[in-house]
């Protein structure tokens, strides 16, 4: 190894080791990931000891873990190298890996799209299956659904941001894949999510759910809508409820947020809000919603027990978004609050 390289390599090792040594707490993990975004050499080194999730044209490679449950296959750098070699590709594709994050077990996670390879050969080699995210998302175990969704969103972002919107010139990514820079005017592009407000409106005794004609039969969900440029969360929420059902909400209370990959990366900002019972008459915009209804706590409890969508030959029983969707969380938070307040009456 040339005399020049030795100091650099030992410096990188020391930095990687010191960061790894401290990568035991949440703060250290966050700082370590941030450093990998800033330091290409450290990111290359982390890739060689990290785990890599494979995708084929944005479709994740999964394997069955328990009946009806799937998990992503996490491959090592050398395992991906041998998959690429057996599939007739050279290992240089590995440098296209994108940094996802660092697990609580301090495993740095990457994703790689092998879209130019034969998916059947890769799936067989890895003893897995490529499964569309729309289907896989609800079959993935808890924490792995957001991980796979984030990985797909990052890979998609790179695929549709190869050119600068201002100059038309190629953009170049950093090693981590956390940004792209225009090769001519140095404009920097970062992966984006579209903010969406989602709200469960209550009149004290009932909650309001709606459905679009594009929803599966019988599915009702909380009202949602994309934030317009310059809007606050509250302004977007008030506007969307007024537009969709003609109500003016009060008492907006933030609940939680969620990255939602369908159809593309929405950043769901979930809230509860109220209307007075005296002003709960719905005026539905049927260009936006096929239907919207007030549901009692009993009706919600029944609907939460419906585990499978009604078949075509069955009546369109009301069913609700599954646990992976933040709408489900809003609905169960409201139901639990109703029970507490009934219990205290």
Ligand X SMILES: NC(=O)C1=CN([C@@H]2O[C@H](COP(=O)(O)OP(=O)(O)OC[C@H]3O[C@@H](n4cnc5c(N)ncnc54)[C@H](OP(=O)(O)O)[C@@H]3O)[C@@H](O)[C@H]2O)C=CC1
In whole angstroms, give the CA distance from residue 108 to residue 43. Answer: 10
- CB-neighbour burial class of residue 274 (10 A; exposed 0-12, middle 13-18, buried 19+): middle
In terms of CB distance, is 100 or 224 closer to Mg ion?
A: 224
User: Of residues 232-251, which lie at the interface with ligand X (CB under 6 A)?
Assistant: 240
CB nearer to Mg ion: give 103 or 255: 255
* Residue closer to Mg ion, measured from CB, 132 or 290: 290
- Binding status of residue 219 toward ligand X by CB under 6 A: no
| Nearer to ligand X (CB atom), residue 60 or residue 321 | 321
Piece of 96-104, 142-150, 308-316, 323-331 that binds ligand X (CB under 6 A):
323-331
The residue nearest Mg ion at its CB is 225
Among 98, 268, 271, 318, binds ligand X (CB under 6 A): 268
Q: Which stretch binds ligand X (CB under 6 A): 55-63, 130-138, 155-163, 219-227?
A: 219-227
The 3-state DSSP class for residue 131 equals: coil
Strand 51-56 to 108-113 pairing: parallel
Cite the DSSP H helix spans in the chain: 5-22, 26-38, 40-49, 77-86, 119-126, 133-136, 144-160, 233-245, 297-304, 326-344
**How far does CA 338 lie from the centroid of its chain?**
30
Residues in contact with ligand X, counted by CB under 6 A, come to a total of 17
Is 99 or 224 the residue whose CB approaches Mg ion more closely? 224
Verify binding: residue 196, ligand X, rule CB under 6 A: yes
Of these, 325, 331, 335, 338, which contacts ligand X (CB under 6 A)? Answer: 325
DSSP state of 91: G
Please give the helix or strand (H or E) that residue 226 lies within, else none.
Answer: strand 223-226
DSSP string computed for 237-304: HHHHHHHHH----EEEEEEEEEEE-SSS-EEEEEEEEE--GGG------TTT-SEEEEEEHHHHHHHH
Q: Which of residues 198-237 bind Mg ion (CB under 5 A)?
A: 224-225
Q: Return d(Cα 320, Cα 305) in angstroms, integer.
A: 9
Buried/exposed 107-121: b ≥16 CB within 10 Å, e otherwise: ebbbbbbbeebebee
Identity of the residue, 194 or 341, whose beta carbon is nearer to ligand X in the bound complex: 194
Report phi then psi at 259, rounded to 5: -80, 125
Residue whose CB is less far from ligand X, 163 or 267 = 267
- Binding partner selected for residue 325 from Mg ion, ligand X, none, CB under the kind-specific 5 to 8 Å limit: ligand X
DSSP 139-153: TB-TTHHHHHHHHHH
Best CA proximity match to 159, nearest among 191, 196, 194: 191
Contact track, ligand X, 282-321, x by CB under 6 A: ---------------------------------------x
Which of ligand X, Mg ion, none is residue 260 near (CB under 5 to 8 Å by kind)?
ligand X
Q: Which residues pair with 208 in a beta bridge?
A: 201, 294
Rounded CA-CA distance 93/330 in Å is 42
Cβ at position 285, least distance to ligand X in Å: 10
Min dist CB 266 to ligand X, Å, is: 5
Query: In the range 3-32, which residues lie near ligand X by CB under 6 A?
Result: none
List 327, 331, 334, 335, residue binding ligand X (CB under 6 A) = 327
Q: Which does 198 bind (CB under 5 to 8 A by kind): ligand X, Mg ion, none?
A: ligand X
Does 226 bind ligand X (CB under 6 A)? Our answer is: yes
Residue selected from 106, 194, 232, 296 as contacting ligand X according to rule CB under 6 A: 194
CB 72 within 8 Å of CB 53: yes
- Which among 33, 66, 67 has a CA at the least distance from the CA of 50? 33
Q: Which residues bind Mg ion (CB under 5 A)?
A: 224-225
Q: Which residues bind ligand X (CB under 6 A)?
A: 194, 196, 198, 221, 224-226, 240, 258, 260, 262, 266, 268, 321, 325-327
């Amino acid at each position: 190894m040339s005399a020049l390289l030795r100091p650099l390599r030992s410096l990188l090792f020391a930095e990687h080791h010191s960061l790894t040594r401290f990568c035991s707490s949440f703060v250290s993990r966050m700082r370590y990931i941030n450093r990998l975004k800033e330091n290409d050499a450290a990111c290359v080194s982390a890739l060689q000891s990290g785990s890599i999730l494979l995708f084929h044209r944005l479709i994740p490679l999964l394997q069955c873990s328990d009946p009806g449950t799937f998990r992503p296959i996490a491959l090592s750098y050398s395992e991906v190298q041998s998959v690429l070699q057996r599939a007739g590709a050279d290992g240089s594709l590995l440098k296209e890996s994108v940094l996802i994050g660092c697990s609580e077990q301090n495993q740095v996670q990457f994703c790689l799209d092998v879209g130019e390879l034969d998916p059947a050969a890769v799936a067989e080699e890895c003893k897995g299956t490529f499964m569309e995210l729309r289907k896989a998302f609800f079959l993935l175990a808890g924490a792995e659904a957001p991980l796979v969704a984030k990985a797909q969103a990052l890979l998609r972002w790179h695929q549709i941001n190869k050119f600068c919107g201002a100059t038309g010139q190629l953009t170049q990514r950093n090693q981590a894949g956390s940004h792209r820079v225009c090769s001519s005017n140095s404009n920097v592009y970062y992966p984006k999510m579209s903010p969406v407000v989602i709200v469960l409106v209550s009149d004290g005794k009932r909650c309001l759910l709606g459905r679009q004609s594009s929803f599966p039969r019988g599915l009702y969900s909380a009202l949602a809508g994309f934030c317009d440029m310059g809007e606050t969360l509250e302004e977007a929420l008030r506007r969307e409820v007024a537009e969709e059902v003609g109500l003016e909400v009060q008492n907006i209370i933030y609940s939680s947020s969620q990255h939602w990959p369908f159809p593309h990366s929405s950043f769901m900002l979930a809230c509860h809000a109220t209307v007075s019972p005296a002003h709960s008459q719905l005026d539905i915009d049927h260009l936006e919603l096929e239907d919207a209804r007030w549901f009692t706590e009993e009706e919600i409890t029944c609907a939460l027990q419906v585990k499978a969508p009604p078949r075509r030959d069955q009546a369109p029983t009301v069913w609700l978004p599954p646990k992976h969707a933040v709408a489900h969380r809003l609905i169960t938070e409201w139901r639990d609050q109703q029970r507490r307040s009934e219990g205290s009456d």
